[in-house]
Structure 1
């Protein structure tokens, strides 16, 4: 599965979560979801290009 396909499937789900939970005090939850998604997509890129390690230098979270 290509990265663009993963992003296409993941974006509506994350958007739905954001719309559902946007009221109230949800900043910390959004931050943790963002960190989780960023971490897993970075790991997926590392596996795709068969590179060792976590890959924060080549694919920083920003």
Structure 2
């Protein structure tokens, strides 16, 4: 491989280049936001943290907008991110969905002048997941379920 790269006028970066079997644990590699390891595709941690940081910036508790406006502002981000990473491992999406709903519950608590982060059982019963879906929140788990359905019409 090194000879082919040199013959084509390219160079290999010694820190970024390694030979390994990505089907084994610990021998994976990262490429274009994905982590390929053990025969599966995961979202790279840096990409996931970047999404979470952007969501945190859009869902500040002192934002002052209605929850519907907040959802409308984060939906394009969630749709685009899902469109790119939809082939990643499915557990990633339920984690991101939970994080987004937790941020939204914290905003709703703040609007009621109550402290906290929206993690308690009372918040989950007061604002269930379906209530956010009714407000139009894009849910990655549901989008993944729909994307993996058969399109032949035998459902």
Q: Same fold (TM over 0.5)?
A: yes
Which has the larger displacement, 44-53 or 4-13? 44-53
- CA distance in 2 between counterparts of 1:48 and 1:26 reads 35
**Which of 1 and 2 has greater Rg?**
2
Unaligned ranges ≥5, structure 2: 1-64, 131-155
More helix by share: 1
Q: Counterpart of 1:57 in 2: which secondary structure?
A: helix
Whether 2:111 is the aligned partner of 1:60: answer no
Question: Higher relative contact order at CA 8 Å, sep ≥6: structure 1 or structure 2?
Answer: 1
Q: What is the RMSD of the two structures over their aligned residues, measured on CA atoms? A: 1.6
Q: TM-score, normalised by structure 2?
A: 0.36
Aligned residues: 61
Runs (4+) of structure 1 moved beyond 6 Å? none
Q: TM-score, normalised by structure 1?
A: 0.81
Aligned residue number for residue 66 of structure 2: 2
For 1:1-62, what aligned pairs fall within 5 Å after superposition? 1-23=65-87, 25-51=88-114, 54=118, 55-62=123-130
Unaligned ranges ≥5, structure 1: none
